[in-house]
Amino acid sequence: MSGKSSKKEVLTNARRLVQEAVDVATRAGIDPSQVVAAHCADTTAITENGADQDPDQLEWCGVPVVIDNNTRGLFEMATPDNDPAQKPSFLVTESTANLVRQDFERYKPSLERMIEDWQEAKKLLIGPAKGQ
């Protein structure tokens, strides 16, 4: 074999390093997701077309995306509240963000429906006069 590492070797080494980071964080009393998820969010932020961008500006269909590894569903939206200034946001795990990035067009109709449903729920919650 030449001096280049195979894909399998690289993945094995990367997984070992991630496990080491998780172990170090755990020993230090730090939730490992604060280390790993933050790094992944910094390096794999996505846009509608799958291009990398600043993780603070992550958006799907014009709606901000928040990486939250405590999210239980494939996609969740922030719960509407009584604040008229509240805007919708998607809450997703890092793995969901990566999945959507791979085939955004497949998920786009579901995301658009979620946005519409959120907007309708918000209107019902705060009333039509406040929601306009």
- For residue range 3-14, what is the model confidence (pLDDT) as tens digits? 566 777 777 777
Rounded Cα distance, 29 and 111, in Å: 36
Position 38 scores a pLDDT of 53
- More confident of the two residues 13 and 50: 13
Rounded Cα distance, 91 and 73, in Å: 9
Position 50 scores a pLDDT of 46
Task: Please state, rounded to an integer, the average pLDDT across all residues of the chain.
Answer: 77
- DSSP assignment, residue 78? P
The tokens for 5 are 């590492």
Task: Please report, in angstroms and rounded to a whole number, the separation of the first and last CA atoms in the chain.
Answer: 66
Q: Could you read off the pLDDT of 82-124 as tens digits, one per residue?
A: 888 899 999 988 888 888 888 888 989 999 999 999 999 999 9
